[in-house]
Amino acid sequence: MSNFKEEEIRFLKGVGPKFEKRLNNLGINNLKDLFYYFPRTYQDRSDFKEIRFIRPNEMVSIEAEVLDKDLIKRGKYKSVFKVTFTDGTDTLIGTWFNQSYLNDVFESGQKYNLYGELSKKSFFKYNKKEMINPTYEEIGNKNTIIHTGRVVPIYSLTEGLTQKRLRYIIYRALKDHLHKITDFLPEYIIDKYNHIELEKAIFNMHFPQNRQIFVKARNRLAFQELFLLQIVMLKRKKEYKKVNGIKHHSFNEKMDDFLDRLHFNLTNAQKKAWQQIKSDMEKKEPMQRLLQGDVGSGKTVIAVMSLIKTIENGYQGILMAPTEILAEQHYIKINKILKGFDYNIDILVGGVKGTEREDIIKRIKNSQADLIIGTHALFQNDIEYYNIGLIVIDEQHRFGVEQRYQLKQKGDNPDLLVMTATPIPRSLALTVYGDLDLSIIDEMPPGRKPVITTWRTEKSRSKIYNFVKEKIKKGEQVYVVCPLIEPSEELEANSVLEIKEILEKNYLSEFNVIALHGQLSSNEKNKIMSDFVNHKIDVLISTTIIEVGVDVDTANIMVIENAERFGLAQLHQLRGRIGRGQKQAYCIMIADPNTEEAKKRLEVMTETNDGFRISEADLEIRGPGEFFGTRQHGITDLKVADILKDRKILAKANQEANQLTEIYNWSQKYKKLAKKVEELTIII
Ligand code: ADP
Ligand code: MG
C-alpha cells in the first residue's frame, strides 16, 4: 500500500482538482480512504422489466434502444431533452431537463440500460410512458456496466458530487489500483477462517458480484476491523504494564478489621473482585482495572478496601466521582465507614474555594491528606499530590478516556480502578474497555427484592400520590424525579418547581416536601441531602442530579415524572437509588410517550430489573454510536462491523487478537499487520 500512498487522488480518472476537494469533504484524502469509503446502502437494479409491463410507483431497469431524440432549447440555459426508447414491446420517453449536452451523448440505434420510475402525470393524464431523469448507461461493453442492471452501491454524498460520478471514480480507482493493496492479515488467520482476499473483499463491498461473495467480503472486513481494534487495545494495555508502578504490600489484618466492622458479609462476587484487585495492587505493574457491577451491587465497599490498602502502604488514595452530590455522599459515607481508622480524609469539589481550597491543596501537597474525594476539580493544574498510590474513578461512563490519562499524570504510575454501573455485555466490554482488565460483580447483596416498577399515565396522578401518601404515613421516604427545574414554555414537561407546588398544595400538603436541583449552592444541596438521610424530609423532588450513586436506604419509593423523556440507562440508574434495603421498593413512572422508542424503554423498565438486559435493550434501541457516546475507543469509527449484530465475529476477533499478541515478537513476525496497527494507534 505504501508505494502509492503519495499518489494523489486528483490524478485519478474522473477526479481532477475540483472533485478532489469534494472528495476531501467526505474525508477521502488518498486512495486507501477511497477504497474504504464503503457504500451507505445498495440498490438492486438487476431486475429488468419489459416496457409494456411497467407501471408508476416502481423503480425498474429496462434495456432499450434509442429510436429518436429531440432537444428543445428554452432560452440560454434552459432546455428539455427527450429520447424515445424501445425494447420491442413498447416505447418509453426519457426526459432530461437542462442537460443539453446529452444531445451529443445519445445516438439512435445505441443500446442503453435505464433505471427509474414512470412519471405518474404522463401515465395517467397523457397515457404515455415517460421517465424523468432516469439513470442511463450505455451497454456497449458489458464489463463496464456499473450504474444499472446490477446491485449498485449508494454512497453518502457531498455537495457537487453525484452518485454516478462518485461511483465511477471509485470503480475506476478499484480497477486501476486495487491490485497494489497488500493483505496484512496473517496467513494462518486467513486460512483458519477461510477469509477471502482483501482485494476481492474490498471490490465486492462496492460492487457485489452476488450475495454469497458479498457476505464473505463483509465478514472479512468486519473481522479485520475488530481484530485491529482489539490489537490496538491490547498493545496499549501491554505498554502501561511495561512501566514500573507501585508494588503494594498486603495488610491483611487491617482488611479483616475493616470487614469485621461492616454490618454485612461480602458477596462471593465482591470477594472475587477484591482478590483480583488486591493481586493487581501487589504487582509491580500498574493496575488498570475496570470494576463493573450493576447499581447497588456494592462497588463502593470494594473501592474503599483498595483505598485502605494504598493508605496503609503510605500512599495517598483518590476517589473521583462525576458529580458534586455524589462526591459529598461518598465523603459522608466513607467517613462513617472509616471512623476507627484515623485517616485524614478531604473533599475537593468545584464549590470549594478561597482559603478553604488553599488549605486542602496544602494538605494534599505535604501528605497530610490520606484520602482525597472529589470531582474533576481533583486534577486542576495547581494541585500537586504528594504521592498517589491509587486512583479510583467512580461511574466511568461519564469520563472520557483522555481524562483518565490526564488524572494518571498526577502521580507516578499509580494504580487505577475504574468503576462503572453500565453493564455492557462481556464481549463488548472487552472491546470498549479492551485496554483494561475486567472484574465483574454479577451478584446482588442478599435479600434484595426487585423494585416493583409500573408505568402509568397522567390520568392516574391522584391515585399514584394517594399510594405515596399511605407509604409516607408508614414512615417511608420518597424521591420524585422531574426532567426540568423550572417550568418551560417550549417543553411540555413537568418541572421540579411546578411539581413541588402541586404536591404541597394538593396531594402531600401534610408532609415535608423539598426541592433539590443543580441551581442550588453546594451548601444548600448538602444540607438537603443530609436532612433527607436523617429523615427530616419525606419527599425529595429533584432533577436527575440524584441519578448516580446517591445512597439513602430508607427511601424506597420513586415517582418519575415525564419518564418518556429519560433514556433507558438513566431510568435504570434512577431506579437504582431505591430498593437498597430489605423493604419492598416501588418505582412509578408517569409517562405519555409519543414515540415507539420511548414506549419500548418504558416497557423494558417494567419487565426487568436486570442491568445487563436493560443494557442490551438500550444498545438495540439506540445503536452503538449513541450508546457509547462519541469517541469511545474507536468503536464509533467502525466502518463495517456492527458490534451488536457481529457478536460472533467480535468474539473471534478478540480471541485471535489475544492469541496473536501473546506470540513473542509478533510484530516482527507479522510486519504488515504491525504496520497497519501502528497506523491505527495514531488515530484511535
Ligand atoms: P454501587 O455498586 O451502586 O456503587 P454501593 O456500593 O453503593 O453500590 O452499595 C449499595 C448498598 O449495598 C450500600 O448501602 C452498601 O452498604 C450495601 N452493600 C454492599 N455490599 C453489600 C453486601 N455484601 N451485603 C449487604 N449489603 C451490601
Ligand atoms: Mg456507586
488 and 405 within one domain: no
162 and 28 within one domain: yes
262 and 390 within one domain: yes
197 and 173 within one domain: no
Going by the DSSP 8-state scheme, the letter that residue 379 receives in this structure is: G
Q: Identify whether the C-beta of residue 540 lies closer than 8 Å to the C-beta of residue 514.
A: yes
Q: How confident is the model at residue 5 (pLDDT cuts 50, 70, 90)?
A: very low
Q: Which atom of ligand 1 is nearest to the CA of 301?
A: 6
User: Is residue 327 in some structural domain?
Assistant: yes
Nearest to 396 by CA among 444, 332, 326, 339: 326
Q: What percent of the chain has pLDDT above 90?
A: 52
Q: How far is the CA of 302 from the centre of ligand 1 (A)?
A: 9
Q: How far is the CA of 232 from the centre of ligand 2 (A)?
A: 30
Domain containing 130 equals: 47-142
Total of domains in the chain? 5
d(CA 570, CA 574): 6
Average pLDDT, the chain: 87
User: Is residue 671 in some structural domain?
Assistant: no
What pLDDT is stored for residue 3 in this prediction? 47
Q: How confident is the model at residue 453 (pLDDT cuts 50, 70, 90)?
A: very high
User: Is residue 675 in some structural domain?
Assistant: no
66 and 41 within one domain: no
459 and 537 within one domain: yes
Nearest to 402 by CA among 228, 241, 624, 630: 630
d(CA 437, CA 241): 11
pLDDT tens-digit profile of 72-94?
988 888 999 999 999 999 999 99
Q: Could you tell me how many residues make up the chain? A: 684
586 and 467 within one domain: yes
563 and 505 within one domain: yes
d(CA 617, CA 612): 9
Q: What is the DSSP string of 451-475?
A: PEEEEE-GGGHHHHHHHHHHHHHTT
- Among 261, 546, 551, residue to substitute to test ligand 1 (most atoms within 8 Å of Cβ): 551
Going by the DSSP 8-state scheme, the letter that residue 372 receives in this structure is: E
Residues 6+ apart with CB under 8 A from 579: 296, 448, 449, 450, 451, 556, 585, 609
Q: How far is the CA of 3 from the centre of ligand 2 (A)?
A: 53
Going by the DSSP 8-state scheme, the letter that residue 591 receives in this structure is: -
Q: Is the dihedral of CA 441, 444, 445, 451 positive or negative?
A: positive
The region of weakest confidence among 334-343, 355-364, 477-486 is: 477-486
User: Is residue 374 in some structural domain?
Assistant: yes
Q: What is the DSSP string of 10-53?
A: GGSTT-HHHHHHHHHHTT--SHHHHHT---SEEEE---B--GGG
User: Is residue 628 in some structural domain?
Assistant: no
- Among 580, 582, 609, residue to substitute to test ligand 1 (most atoms within 8 Å of Cβ): 580
What pLDDT is stored for residue 642 in this prediction? 81
Q: Residue whose CA is closest, atom 13 of ligand 1?
A: 298
Nearest-ligand number for the alpha carbon of 302: 1
- Among 262, 264, 319, residue to substitute to test ligand 1 (most atoms within 8 Å of Cβ): 264
pLDDT tens-digit profile of 399-441?
555 566 666 777 788 999 999 877 676 667 767 777 788 899 9
Domain termination site, one of 375, 408, 441: 441
- Average pLDDT estimate for 495-517: 86
User: Is residue 623 in some structural domain?
Assistant: no
Nearest to 288 by CA among 123, 460, 407: 407
- Average pLDDT estimate for 502-530: 85
Domain termination site, one of 112, 142, 172: 142
Give the CA count within 13 Å in the CB-facing half-sphere of 44: 5
Q: Identify whether the C-beta of residue 441 lies closer than 8 Å to the C-beta of residue 299.
A: yes
Q: What percent of the chain has pLDDT above 70?
A: 90
Amino acid in position 433: Y
421 and 311 within one domain: yes
Nearest to 576 by CA among 446, 421, 683, 426: 421
The three three-digit cell numbers of residue 545, written as one number: 442530579
What pLDDT is stored for residue 682 in this prediction? 62
CATH number at residue 576: 3.40.50.300
pTM above 0.85, yes or no: no
Beta strand residue intervals within 369-433, DSSP E: 371-374, 388-393, 415-420
User: Is residue 247 in some structural domain?
Assistant: no
CA-based angle 163:168:173, to the nearest 5? 130
CA 636 vs CA 531, 627, 630: distances in Å: 43, 10, 7
Q: Residue whose CA is closest, atom 5 of ligand 1?
A: 298
395 and 475 within one domain: no
d(CA 421, CA 424): 9
pLDDT tens-digit profile of 539-590?
998 887 765 556 677 889 999 998 998 888 889 888 988 987 778 999 999 9
196 by Cβ neighbours in 10 Å (0-12 / 13-18 / 19+) ranks as middle
Query: Does the pLDDT value for residue 149 go beyond 70?
Result: yes
256 and 109 within one domain: no
Q: How far is the CA of 434 from the centre of ligand 1 (A)?
A: 27
Q: Residue whose CA is closest, atom 19 of ligand 1?
A: 298
Residues 6+ apart with CB under 8 A from 567: 601, 618, 622
pLDDT tens-digit profile of 294-340?
878 899 999 999 999 999 999 999 999 887 878 888 898 899 889 88
| 413 phi-psi bin (left φ>0, alpha ψ -120 to 50, beta other) | left
The three three-digit cell numbers of residue 186, written as one number: 496473517
580 and 525 within one domain: yes
Residue keyed to cell 477526479 = 15
* β-strand pairing of 60-74 with 111-116: antiparallel
Domain termination site, one of 613, 632, 659: 613
451 by Cβ neighbours in 10 Å (0-12 / 13-18 / 19+) ranks as buried
What pLDDT is stored for residue 381 in this prediction? 83
Q: Residue whose CA is closest, atom 17 of ligand 1?
A: 298
Q: How many CB atoms lie within 10 A of CB 635?
A: 22
Q: Which atom of ligand 1 is nearest to the CA of 297?
A: 2
User: Is residue 649 in some structural domain?
Assistant: no
What pLDDT is stored for residue 42 in this prediction? 93
Q: Residue whose CA is closest, atom 9 of ligand 1?
A: 298
